[in-house]
Structure 1
């Protein structure tokens, strides 16, 4: 099996290297990832600048992969169209430095890379590790591999898309694996107002991850309870249930002069 591994934290990120080691047990891994951190870029693509690609060596001197001076979505597009001799069988994005649960899915470059893979009808999986003061990526990579093996063993349709979040190792071993929907509530966001040394006002985004939320179990709640979460996603944003209603509205006809 040929696996494309990418991320949004950059090709030098510890999470990518830990996951590379585990994925090598499943097949041939090709690393094509951003040259620099791209956290929060969502599904941005580069249109006005050239995409420069460089080879990157691993710590032992062997070739790790290729660094692209672009976004995570750029990496997947370029990998499939130009850098790989044939498309991969699986695309994995991660391990992200911090969870991508709830509405963070919409901002995540990690998830966007997986979505891009699903565009090409390739099974794609985004993997993130809940934030902690000291990340244990080998721990997360071992659990990620087990989840990925389970997904593949069930032969999902081509183009299937999954978002996986792993709880911090500070919680101990995960309680279990929960298949849950994406949470859509807003929580923990805000801005701290400050002044710089020249007296100018600026704002710094703040975020307090929820440790307990009420309501239907979602990825946010299950992760906060210490579970690995798996969420099947789709990129078709059409609100199917409202199509017929909106079609029934009275719309203006052609303008007449």
Structure 2
């Protein structure tokens, strides 16, 4: 870790008033200088969406004498990171942390996650980044058991850095501190949502839909994030934002594209 106090950017997708981000800010304040830029309202499952057809608003909600500087942003989690890097910070932060999300971002959920997309955006900007999530959707979830692990993982990344083009997806099981067995480096489990649209009708006779679904883990491997979480471990999955399927290029090059 650098000799100076690290500059830490904190964001999330549940909104700046969420208990999860408050827990994350508390831990980060023990490590370095904290700047918070988070959505002014819940933005869950926004993925890597950005605002291009509407105005963006930024509101400083901390006072000058506060030790932690906080801004709310009218946009998405990715907007928050972009605004922080381009409009607020005079230098790149040493680390961006996103969360703590109320609910799982393991397996295929990483694709839809605003929490992880904020971390990925930081990674694209060349900033080491971590997304933290707790497998508890309750607004009043207990974050105390995981705080020491958040601090440990953060300090390890600050000390040692991350491979180029990689950010970390960290998920915590809903367990008491003494029930967590440790940290496992994992791969993303092969799983999906079996989705269902609940069709209803307004009093005016117009159809509308509610999306619901069942999560199905198709992966029996014991090296996955789903296995780790089911067995009381913290899962850490290295995520890359280069979406190229490198393993498929050789096969595709055998096809007669130009004949």
TM-score by length of 2: 0.86
Matched with 2:44 is: 39
Matched with 1:234 is: 240
- Structure 2 residue corresponding to 1:20, chosen from 20, 25, 35: 25
Distance 1:130 1:210 in 2: 16
1:153 counterpart = 2:159: yes
Distance 2:217 2:149 in 1: 21
1:33-58 residue CA offsets vs partner (Å, 9 max, x unmatched): 11111100100011111211001248
Aligned length: 251
1:215 counterpart = 2:221: yes
Matched with 2:70 is: 65
Deviation (angstroms), 1:140: 2.8
Q: Is the 8 A contact 1:4 1:90 kept in 2?
A: yes
Unaligned runs of 5+ in 1: none
Distance 1:23 1:210, change over 3 A: farther
Q: Is the 8 A contact 1:178 1:229 kept in 2?
A: yes
Q: Is the 8 A contact 1:212 1:221 kept in 2?
A: no
Q: Is the 8 A contact 2:46 2:114 kept in 1?
A: yes
Unaligned runs of 5+ in 2: 1-5
RMSD: 2.6
- How do 1:62-141 residues align onto structure 2 when only pairs under 5 Å count? 64-131=69-136, 133=138, 134-141=140-147
Deviation (angstroms), 1:202: 4.3
1:165 counterpart = 2:171: yes
Distance 2:28 2:58 in 1: 23
Distance 1:162 1:98 in 2: 16
Deviation (angstroms), 1:247: 2.4
- Out of 151-160 and 117-126, give the one that drifted further: 151-160
Deviation (angstroms), 1:211: 9.3
Q: Is the 8 A contact 1:211 1:224 kept in 2?
A: no
- Out of 76-85 and 198-207, give the one that drifted further: 198-207
Matched with 2:3 is: none
TM-score by length of 1: 0.87
Deviation (angstroms), 1:200: 5.7
Deviation (angstroms), 1:63: 6.0
Distance 1:22 1:95, change over 3 A: same
Deviation (angstroms), 1:252: 4.1
- Structure 2 residue corresponding to 1:144, chosen from 142, 150, 162: 150
